[in-house]
Amino acid sequence: MGNVPTLQIPDGWQSRVPAGWDWSDLWVAIEKGKHKIAHEIVQKAIDANINPKTILDDGLFPGFNLQGDRFSEQIIFIPEMLITARAMKTGLALIRPLLAAAAEKPVGTFIIGTVLGDMHDIGQTIVTIMLENAGFRVINLGTDTHPDKFIDAAKREKADLVGFSALLSTTIYYQKVTIEEFAKAGLRSKVKILVGGAPTSQQWADEIGADGWGKDAMLAVQLAKRLVKEPREAWE
């Protein structure tokens, strides 16, 4: 706590848009979670032939990152983060086909779920939303997920990262068990594994051989961005 996040305006954004174009309404729309306004502005930007990657980086991310940082600092809370994420998602939905057509690849593929025996999903839902908005392709397996389901999904989707959520001290053991199952299946070096949830800690993550611990949703996303760049054994 203690930092007051500010809007990070992208350097030289004016050079990437037509003369007279202004992103500030979109920054505010994302910040305030006005998804209808966000939709309108992104559509206008597309109609004005602005590069979709520019719309994402210069138009959508500043407001989203501002709220993410505020969320981390507990200046805003779940409801505000949810409406911002929804506005972000509205904009992303419009530009995603254009990004794909321009051969912009997702940052990585992330399999996420709450471990076997645990039905809690508030935390992992928020992490999913943040990861999607940060450019990851996320496959959410929901709650009460058997280790085999994680393994099947990782194989099928050629996952880069896998994340196990758990809220209870009785269920975090399944983070350990699931990591062991990945090792038994010979997949441990193909994916980076992240863990999170109320009773977890960095010490717990180290103890069970996870690659990282997400203390909160924003830190989990930062961790994912870092880990996805680290070397892994390739999928065939």
Partner 1 sequence: MAELRPRERFARAIRREKVDRVPTLYRFKKESKEKVARIFGIHGTGTGMKHDPSLELRLGNDAIMYQIGINAEFSHHPIAIGETWYSDFKVGYGKSGLQGMTEEQHKEFEKTQEFWGPAKVVPENFPKHHPITSMEDLKNYTWPDPANPRLLDPIKEICKKWQDDYFIMVDLSSTLIEAAYAHLVGTQNFFLYIYDEPELIAGVLDGLTEYYTALGKNVAALGVDLIRVGDDIGSQQGMMFDPDSWRELAKPRFAYMFEQFRKVNKDVYLKFHSCGDYSPIMQDEVDLGVNLTGLMQPVGGNRDQAGMKKKFGDKIAMIGGLDVQRLLPRGQVEEVREGVLNVMKNLAAGGGYIFSPAHYILADVPVQNIFAMLEAVKDYGVYGKYPLN
- Whole-angstrom Cα distance, residue 93 to residue 98? 10
If one asks whether residue 149 binds partner 1 (CB under 8 A), the answer comes out as: yes
Part of the chain binding partner 1 (CB under 8 A), chosen from 12-20, 52-60, 91-99, 121-129: 121-129
Q: Closest distance between partner 1 and the C-beta of residue 37, in Å? A: 14
Pseudo-torsion of CA 224, 228, 229, 232, nearest 10°?
A: 140
If one asks whether residue 206 binds partner 1 (CB under 8 A), the answer comes out as: no
Q: Closest distance between partner 1 and the C-beta of residue 65, in Å? A: 19
If one asks whether residue 110 binds partner 1 (CB under 8 A), the answer comes out as: no
Task: For partner 1, give the closer residue by CB, 49 or 74.
Answer: 74
If one asks whether residue 119 binds partner 1 (CB under 8 A), the answer comes out as: yes
Token pair of 11 as six digits: 């350097």
If one asks whether residue 168 binds partner 1 (CB under 8 A), the answer comes out as: yes
Q: Using CB under 8 A, which of 116, 130, 179, 187 touches partner 1?
A: 116
Q: In terms of Cα–Cα distance, which of 21, 92, 198 is closest to 84?
A: 92
Give Cα separations from 2 to 5, 46, 222, 223 (angstroms): 9, 38, 19, 21
If one asks whether residue 33 binds partner 1 (CB under 8 A), the answer comes out as: yes
Q: Closest distance between partner 1 and the C-beta of residue 27, in Å? A: 19
Buried-state track 9-21, b at ≥16 Cβ within 10 A, e below 16: eeeebeebbeeee
If one asks whether residue 31 binds partner 1 (CB under 8 A), the answer comes out as: no
Part of the chain binding partner 1 (CB under 8 A), chosen from 14-22, 90-98, 116-124, 185-193: 116-124
Residues in the chain: 236
Site string for partner 1, 57-96 (x = CB under 8 A): -----------------x-xxxxx-xx--x----------
SS3 string, 28-87, reads HHHHHCCHHHHHHHHHHHHHCCCCHHHHHHHHHHHHHHHHHHHHHCCCCCHHHHHHHHHH
Return the biggest CA–CA distance within the chain. 59
Q: Closest distance between partner 1 and the C-beta of residue 121, in Å? A: 8
Q: In terms of Cα–Cα distance, which of 174, 57, 33 is closest to 107?
A: 57
Residues in contact with partner 1 by CB under 8 A are 33, 74, 76-80, 82-83, 86, 116-119, 121-123, 125, 143-146, 149, 168-171, 173-174, 176-177, 198-199, 201, 204, 215-216
